[in-house]
């Protein structure tokens, strides 16, 4: 891969941005090579400043379900920009996007927009604590809900990529109330509630884990969480920042038929602009200021161009349900390709996938939780990532980030990715 412009950008960036990035995963610390200096994206492909073209499975870490630059979204953003960027007043677009979310997601009766998934999670935890009068939170190891203090315990995503347990600067008191349990293990959840159930405000969970790589929920896991939280009067919070409008129009809760109390959104609902949202039962949401006393605010919350982008994305998805079929077919093709290639190379490979979220974990047979996926062959993943870059495939630079497909990926894109995977497995030994 040509990379002289990428190296030059990294050198410049490292002088003025910590690690040369604004979000740690972008620094490629867990894989060899230099992050490409991307200058343009269209559909499923991006181009870098060195003239390399890549099939993009990063997709900005999830928002671009319709690929880069979908015409409907670009037109909607431009139309809003012609009228202004932000006014500090509620605009009709906020109401329209909230109405679409309420219509699509059965458990959500009201929505509050924020500017990131981190903010959505932090705010939902505050609301859950206020509503229950309890302080403790249950989360799962390898689950990532942004970087708010209480949730940075045994987190996935960049925290897992860098191999650190949490972060200096998080007061021990902030995580003292956080109970971390293994994903997909209802027994440990039941035991935690038996022990401290009357102190637990909420269980927060990615209904499909994406921040330890993609790990689907085991049959019964989400139902079990619903039953246990209801029994103990705790809230069930679904972090659908990745899965919302991605694994199904109504999110993972529609796919699995579960009704959480609160849900978090981001990524797809902003079309690539910075948006987060939390929503849920009216009686809970009406506790938020100014309806109620639970304070949460944001100068640029409900950003008009971001609302316009989100509405445009949701409208494309809503009017063509065949798009979800297409995403499922592409994901299944990729999964089958990975499984067959690994078998041909005589290697174990658990492939975690739900629809268009997918991760191959080479070297392990089962990926049920963070302990399992930490055993995947990360050295080999690094070699694979490097080979993919050389072959024109841009994959998330960490074993602990799910890859994403868009409606613009082609069968050929998938097949080229699988071919390169197969070639690397059969030729690279580590």
**Residue positions annotated with a catalytic role:** 144, 239, 267
> Could you list the residues that contact ligand HOZ (CB under 6 A)?
23, 25, 61, 144, 157-158, 211, 401
Tell me how far, at minimum, the Cβ of 366 lies from ligand HOZ, in Å. Answer: 22
> What is the gyration radius of the CA atoms in the chain, in angstroms?
21
Tell me how far, at minimum, the Cβ of 143 lies from ligand HOZ, in Å. Answer: 11
In contact, 229 and 203? CB cutoff 8 Å = yes
Residue showing tokens 């997909």: 184
Token code pair at residue 269: 């609902």
Please list, in sequence order, all residues whose beta carbon lies within 8 angstroms of the beta carbon of residue 255, skipping any fewer than 6 positions away. Answer: 247, 248, 354
In contact, 347 and 132? CB cutoff 8 Å = no
Integer angstrom CA distances of residue 397 from 30, 35, 330: 7, 9, 21
Which residues lie across from 213 on neighbouring strands? 211
Identify which of residues 6 and 242 has a Cβ nearer to ligand HOZ in the complex: 242
Q: Residue number with the shortest CB distance to ligand HOZ?
A: 23
Tell me how far, at minimum, the Cβ of 30 lies from ligand HOZ, in Å. Answer: 13
Tell me how far, at minimum, the Cβ of 84 lies from ligand HOZ, in Å. Answer: 29
Q: Supply φ then ψ for residue 262, to 5 degrees.
A: -135, 150
Tell me how far, at minimum, the Cβ of 18 lies from ligand HOZ, in Å. Answer: 13
Identify which of residues 175 and 214 has a Cβ nearer to ligand HOZ in the complex: 214
Identify which of residues 386 and 401 has a Cβ nearer to ligand HOZ in the complex: 401
DSSP 223: H
Token code pair at residue 4: 């002289």
Pairing of strands 276-280, 262-266: antiparallel
Distance of CA 85 to the CA centre of its chain: 27
Identify which of residues 19 and 298 has a Cβ nearer to ligand HOZ in the complex: 19
Identify which of residues 61 and 388 has a Cβ nearer to ligand HOZ in the complex: 61
């Amino acid at each position: 891969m040509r990379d002289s412009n990428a190296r030059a950008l990294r050198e410049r960036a490292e002088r003025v941005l910590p690690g040369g990035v604004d979000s740690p995963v972008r620094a490629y610390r867990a894989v060899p090579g230099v992050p490409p200096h991307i200058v343009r994206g269209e559909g499923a492909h991006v181009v870098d400043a060195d003239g390399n073209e890549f099939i993009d499975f990063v997709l900005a870490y999830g928002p671009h379900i319709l690929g880069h630059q979908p015409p409907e979204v670009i037109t909607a953003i431009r139309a809003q920009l012609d009228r202004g960027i932000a006014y500090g007043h509620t605009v009709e677009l906020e109401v329209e996007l909230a109405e679409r979310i309420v219509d699509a997601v059965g458990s959500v009766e009201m929505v509050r927009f924020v500017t990131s998934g981190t903010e959505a999670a932090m705010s939902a935890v505050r609301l859950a604590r206020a509503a229950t009068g309890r302080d403790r939170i249950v989360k799962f190891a390898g689950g990532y809900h942004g970087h708010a203090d209480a949730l940075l315990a045994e987190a996935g995503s960049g925290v897992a990529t860098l191999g650190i347990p949490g972060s200096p600067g998080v007061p021990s008191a902030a995580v003292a109330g956080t109970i971390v349990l293994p994903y997909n293990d209802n027994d440990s959840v039941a035991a935690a509630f038996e022990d401290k159930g009357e102190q637990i405000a909420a269980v927060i969970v990615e209904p499909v884990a994406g921040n330890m790589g993609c790990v689907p929920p085991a049959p019964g896991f989400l139902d079990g969480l619903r039953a246990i939280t209801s029994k103990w009067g705790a809230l069930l919070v679904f972090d659908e920042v990745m899965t919302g409008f991605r694994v199904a129009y109504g999110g993972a809760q529609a796919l699995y038929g579960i009704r959480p109390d609160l849900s978090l959104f981001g990524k797809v609902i902003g079309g690539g602009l910075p948006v987060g949202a939390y929503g849920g039962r009216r009686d809970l949401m009406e506790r938020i200021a100014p309806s109620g006393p639970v304070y949460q605010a944001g100068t640029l919350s409900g950003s008009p161009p971001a609302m316009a982008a989100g509405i445009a994305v949701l409208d494309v998805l809503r009017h063509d349900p065949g798009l979800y079929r297409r995403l499922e077919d592409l994901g299944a093709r990729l999964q089958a390709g990975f499984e067959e290639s690994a078998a041909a190379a005589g290697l174990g490979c658990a492939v975690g996938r739900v629809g268009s979220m997918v991760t191959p974990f080479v070297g392990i047979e089962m990926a049920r939780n963070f302990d399992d996926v930490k055993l995947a062959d990360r050295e080999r993943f690094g070699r694979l990532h490097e080979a993919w870059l050389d072959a024109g495939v841009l994959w998330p630079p960490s074993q602990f980030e799910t890859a994403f497909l868009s409606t613009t990926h082609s069968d050929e894109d998938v097949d080229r990715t699988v071919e390169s995977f197969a070639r690397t497995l059969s030729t690279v030994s580590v």
